[in-house]
Amino acid sequence: MNRIINDPEQVAEEALLGVVAAYPDILAATDNPRVLRAARQPKQGKVGIVTGGGSGHEPAFLGFVGPGLCDAVACGEIFASPTAKSFHAAFKAADFGAGVACLYGNYAGDNMNVKMAVKLAAKDGLTVRSVVANDDVASAPKAERDKRRGVAGEVMMWKSAGGLADEGGDLDQVIAVAQKAIDNTGSVGIGLSACTIPAAGKPNFTIAPGMMEVGIGHHGEPGVSVMPVKPARDMAALMLEHILADLSLGRDEDVAVLVSGLGATPVMELYLLYGHVDEMLRDRGLRIRHRFVGNYFTSLEMMGASITVTRLDGELDRLMALPAHSIGLTVLGS
């Protein structure tokens, strides 16, 4: 495969150096090479927001650090959780005296490392609480929601919690709103091709030419069904069907929608897909209050897209509209 890399084992590390060089107004390095913080430090007394996860999902996770979003991020190897030490360092970088909310996705490694890092922080007298995103409705039945993976819905969680922290919410309130956001969010992805971790050299799963995998995970985890590639409108209908049923969305509700590419799908096709999503949601009597279309949460060079829908109440609607500025998401505000 033709890649723009040097040493396959150093890709994550070298990408971090590049991103800091490219966005000096948004991101700053810390003493830990795997931890970045917002270039503009918020004032003391704000709840710190930390996220983290494996590399290879850019702009997630580092792309959501900035005003109105996260304050620090821990970055792991490609598709592998950051270390407990990195999460701990990120907590310290986001300590502004009001506690830290760690908002991350539900994967075994991340759960363990966050758990250990929270203990390390407690020894320093720093209170850290966490919310684990589990928005991938295709990854487990609703009854086993605690087994579901966290995917692009994390963006909705960061945006809501980041907004409330900026407004001066305390740690309990920030944690509660992050939990509310993720509880009201559902996502489904469709994969059209596999992806390869550079150090592994070959994909560890396959999608046959002409086929698509509905419900695929961000590391190629199997979805709910494999079928021949369908037109975009059918893809939109399939994905929305899973999400809307899971969230039990009725008519006259407010929603936020996010369509993310998985890495190799042209952005043009994401716009095309969004056109169908928009029409189908309106046809169901839903009011789309916020929309995000682009590459927000990718899986190296996988082809495909994910759709995320969040049910909004007045608070979430207000928080989604607040200004935010990061590599992955900028909201101007009104």
Partner 1 sequence: MSRDSVTLTEAGPILFDLVAVIVREQGKLSEIDGQTGDGDHGVNMGKGFRMAGERLKAQGDFTLPQGFATLGDTLLSDIGGSMGPLYGTFFTDMAEVLDDTDVIDAPHVSAMLKAGLAAVQGLGEAKPGDKTLVDVIVPAMEGFDAAQAAGKSFAESLTAMKDAAGAGLEATRSMVAKVGRASRLGERSRGTLDAGAASCDMILSTLADGLITRLNA
Beta bridge mates, 306? 189, 260
Q: Is 219 in the site for partner 1 (CB under 8 A)?
A: yes
Residue in 40, 115, 142, 282 binding partner 1, rule: CB under 8 A: 115
Peptide bond into 297 cis (omega under 30): no
Distances (CA, A) of 87 to 62, 68, 219, 294: 13, 20, 21, 28
57 is catalytic: yes
Q: Is 217 in the site for partner 1 (CB under 8 A)?
A: yes
Q: Is 306 in the site for partner 1 (CB under 8 A)?
A: no
Where do runs of H (alpha helix) occur along 46-193? 84-93, 108-123, 154-166, 171-183
Residue in 199, 224, 226, 264 binding partner 1, rule: CB under 8 A: 199
Q: Is 200 in the site for partner 1 (CB under 8 A)?
A: yes
> d(Cα 100, Cα 200) in Å, to the nearest integer?
35
Q: Which is nearer to partner 1, 110 or 253 (CB)?
A: 110
Q: Is 61 in the site for partner 1 (CB under 8 A)?
A: no
For residue 186 the two structure tokens come to 């559902």
Instruction: Looking at residues 140 to 179 of the shown chain, list those that interact with partner 1 (rule: CB under 8 A).
Output: none
In this chain, which stretch among 94-102, 195-203, 283-291, 307-315 interacts with partner 1, using CB under 8 A?
195-203
Least separation, in Å, of the C-beta of 197 and partner 1?
A: 6
Indicate the SS3 state at residue 210.
coil
Q: Is 109 in the site for partner 1 (CB under 8 A)?
A: yes
Q: Is there a contact between 243 and 307 (Cβ–Cβ < 8 Å)? A: yes
Least separation, in Å, of the C-beta of 23 and partner 1?
A: 23
The one catalytic residue in 57, 218, 242, 290 is: 57
Concatenating the DSSP letter of every residue in 41-55 gives PPPTTSPEEEEEEEE
Q: Is 112 in the site for partner 1 (CB under 8 A)?
A: yes
**How many alpha carbons fall within 13 Å on the CB side of residue 171?**
17
Q: Which is nearer to partner 1, 65 or 80 (CB)?
A: 80
Tell me whether strands 27-29 and 35-38 are parallel, antiparallel or unpaired: antiparallel
Q: Is 134 in the site for partner 1 (CB under 8 A)?
A: no
Distances (CA, A) of 226 to 148, 190, 193, 214: 19, 10, 12, 6
Name the residues annotated as catalytic.
Answer: 57, 219
Residue numbers of the site for partner 1 (CB under 8 A)?
Answer: 9, 54, 76-77, 79-86, 107-109, 112-113, 115-116, 139, 197, 199-200, 204, 217, 219-222
